[in-house]
Amino acid sequence: GAGVSQSPRYKVAKRGQDVALRCDPISGHVSLFWYQQALGQGPEFLTYFQNEAQLDKSGLPSDRFFAERPEGSVSTLKIQRTERGDSAVYLCASSEVSGGKTDTQYFGPGTRLTVL
């Protein structure tokens, strides 16, 4: 079946604008993760959902970052009042089992956000 998809693939925003990044996980996957990947670095955890419940948001860098998954499938990561330091690739991953984070995570291609 289809893998994890993300949209848009590329987003350019002016500093101060709000952006919304979408993630469509693999159908039936219970767990969903958001990561931020800076250039030349590994993915850095932002937040984790199990179905519609956001169980861990400890990685969100500030209250400008907000994520939701209202129906337990599609998720949106919203960044308000973007800053140049928010420029990065935002990766979404999903996993099948509800056993927490110790399961195979399948990543989407990411959204490359550039804040000018």
Tell me how far apart the alpha carbons of residues 33 and 75 are, in angstroms, rounded to a whole number: 9
Q: Given the rule CB under 8 A, which of 21-29, 68-76, 77-85, 104-112 is the region that contacts other proteins? A: 104-112
110 counts as binding other proteins under rule CB under 8 A:
yes
Q: Report which residue type is found at 15.
A: R
Which one of residues 75, 82, 94, 105 is an interface residue with other proteins (CB under 8 A)? 105
Residues 6+ apart with CB under 8 A from 22: 6, 7, 8, 74, 75, 76
Contact 115, 11 (CB under 8 A): no
Least Å distance, CB 53 to other proteins, is 14
91 counts as binding other proteins under rule CB under 8 A:
yes
1 counts as binding other proteins under rule CB under 8 A:
no
